[in-house]
Amino acid sequence: MFSAFSNILKIPDLRRKALWTVGLLALARVGVFIPMPGIDVSVVQAQIEQTHGTAYGRLLGILDMFAGGGLRNASIFALGIMPYISASIIFQLLTAIVPALNKIAKEGESGRRKIIQWTRYSTVLLCVVQAVIICSGLQDLRPGGRPIVVGGGGPLFLAGAAITLTAGTVFLMWLGEQIDEFGLGNGGSLIIMVGIVSRLPVALYEVGKQFDPAIDSTSPAAIGPGQLLLLLVCFVAMVVAVIVVTQATRRIPMQTPKRTPIGFRQQHFLPLKLNASGVIAIIFAQALMVVFPVLAMLPWDTWRAFLAFFMPWAFPYVTIYLLLIIFFSYFYTAILFDPKEHAENFKQYGIFIPGIRPGADTREYLETVLNRITLAGAVFIAIIAIVPQIIQYSLNVSYTVSDFFGGTGLLIVVGVALDVVNRIESHLLMQHYEGFLKGGGRIRGRRGI
């Protein structure tokens, strides 16, 4: 392992890519600490602390996680790179659903460039809309009697804030594309991952502040040695479980009519991922579950008692949340993989699955296998999504700490890390250097979020 890391510095191309990646990510982190003009940062942080533990505070925490702390610091990168990721996901879904976009996507390099350009335009539009909505709400907030917006705001503030936040996200989008071209890994995913990992020192500080070696593990006031050991074991177990499930694939054997000189058919495999939707299912479910807390904040006395049953982590809320994750896992997997299209392609090129007839039988077989493995992956993702809350309430830690034990943060960090390791492994093996795995094995990483 250590020799593999030392070999990275011996390959000029890999060394250059690594330095580019580190430098651009450092530049992205600098912008998180540049405050937006006209905003009192201390008041913003006080407001976030005041709402900590509420449904609104949970929403702010998720947004701040994807922004890498930019929202808490009221920085020029407060929106983060999520508008670009959202636009990319939207066009990915539209490409699979809308025939016209699907046709353009199949035009090759020219079609891909058109989709990318439209994604950029959509990112700018999303940024402007989000910036205006957020800054309009900030003008009316006065926690403790102090206004968040210096001078009360107004049209000029809204215009300047929208331009500033949009420019910040566009700059992050440009950094991500530079990492894609000159660095290692998916740029947008790496920016989000670094933002999530940057919260680790804060989490460790909170654990250290709560730790008291003089108490036992049952004390509700602090973290004892037993709880600390249990936290460590749970963290290692969750990381290992996420890696195993992220890497897990069902290999469908395929045979081609082409014969080798000794007369045997060549056999290949169609890999079907156990967790094809990745973190997308959780993101979609969280976006919809925000509706209940928002509706509860409205002055609807008739519905307030009913909506109280759907407050965060009540039984109905958790049930609907888990069902939405499973639904979106199936939905996104169906968008990514079409059994009918694959069956037709197999039949056209003479490829067949041993023991399965080409055509309709192949389609039904692929659908059956895909439904089974998607259910297993969806249930795992649903469990991962609620583990942070279980850790938080059972082991007496804050959400900043428990968030590293599951949810979107852990899935993103593990997925992106595996992708980077896979790319480095490929470079090392191509240059005939010893890789991270002995025996010539490879790590099959993910492609970003």
pLDDT of res. 167:
93
Query: Is residue 236, in this structure, part of any structural domain at all?
Result: no
Whole-number pLDDT of residue 227:
81
Q: Which residues are within 8 A (CB) of 43 and not within 5 positions of it... i.e. 6 or more apart?
A: 143, 144, 146, 147, 148
Closest C-alpha to 38, from 75, 69, 81, 71: 75
Task: Identify which of 176, 172, 182 has the alpha carbon closest to the alpha carbon of residue 416.
Answer: 176
Give the integer Cα–Cα distance in Å for 34 and 253: 54
| Residue 281 CB-half CA count within 13 A | 33
Mean pLDDT of 280-303: 68
Specify the DSSP element, H or E, that contains 283: helix 280-289
Cα–Cα distance between 372 and 242 in angstroms, integer? 19
The mean pLDDT of the chain is 80
Give the pLDDT confidence score for residue 446 in this predicted structure. Answer: 47
At 242-259, the pLDDT tens digits run 888 888 889 888 887 655
CB atoms within 10 A of CB 297: 12
- Domain extent for 21: 12-198
CA–CA separation, 391 vs 389, rounded Å? 5
β-pair type (249-259, 265-273): antiparallel
Query: 100: domain CATH number?
Result: 1.10.3370.10
pLDDT for position 2: 55
CA triple 215-220-224, angle to 5 deg: 35
Q: What is the pLDDT of residue 148?
A: 79
DSSP state of 218: T
Side-chain-side CA neighbours of 414 within 13 Å: the count stands at: 24
- pLDDT confidence bin for 447, thresholds 50/70/90: very low
How many domains does the chain divide into?
1
Asked if residue 130 belongs to a domain, the reply is yes
Residue 105 falls inside a structural domain: yes
For tokens 């195993």, the residue is 244
pLDDT single digits (tens) 228-240: 888 889 889 989 9
Helix (H, G, I), strand (E, B) or coil at 76: coil
Q: Compute CA distances 335 → 221, 286, 364, whole Å.
A: 48, 20, 17
C-beta of residue 62 within 8 angstroms of C-beta of residue 283:
no
Number of CB atoms found within 10 A of residue 240's CB: 11
* pLDDT tens figures, 378-407: 999 889 888 888 888 787 787 778 888 877
Residue 197 CB partners (closer than 8 Å, separation 6+): 413
403: nearest Cα among 324, 286, 325: 286
Is 93:335 a contact under the CB 8 Å cutoff?
A: yes
Structure confidence at residue 373 as a pLDDT band (50, 70, 90): very high
Percent of the chain with pLDDT over 90: 13
Question: Would 423 be classed as within a structural domain?
Answer: no
pLDDT tens-digit readout, 323-362:
988 998 998 888 888 888 888 888 888 888 888 888 889 9
111: confidence class by pLDDT, cuts 50, 70, 90: confident
Residue 83 counted as domain residue: yes
Residue 117 exposed, middle or buried by CB count within 10 Å (0-12, 13-18, 19+): exposed
In a domain? residue 278: no
Tens digit of each residue's pLDDT (9 = 90 or more) over 296-326: 555 556 566 666 666 666 777 788 888 988 9
Residue 251 dihedral angles phi and psi, to the nearest 5°: -90, 115
**Rounded to whole angstroms, how far apart are CA atoms 72 and 355?**
58
**Element spanning 337, H or E:** none
Q: Amino acid letter at 34? A: I
Residue 18 has pLDDT above 70, yes or no: yes
Residue 417's identity, in one-letter code, is A
- Whole-angstrom distance, CA of residue 126 vs CA of residue 347: 42
Considering only residues 362 and 13, tell me which one the structure prediction assigns the higher pLDDT: 362
Residue 110: partners with Cβ closer than 8 Å, 6 or more residues away? none
In a domain, 34, yes or no: yes
Average pLDDT, stretch 72-87?
Answer: 87
User: What angle (nearest 5°) sits at the alpha carbon of residue 46, between those of residues 40 and 49?
Assistant: 145
Whether residue 293 is predicted with pLDDT greater than 70 in this model: the reply is: no
Closest CA to 254 of 337, 175, 351, 332: 351
At 221 the pLDDT is: 55
Q: Where are the alpha helices (DSSP H) in 67-154?
A: 82-97, 99-105, 109-139
Q: Identify the H or E element spanning 32.
A: none
In contact, 151 and 138? CB cutoff 8 Å? no
Whether 77 is in a domain gets the answer yes
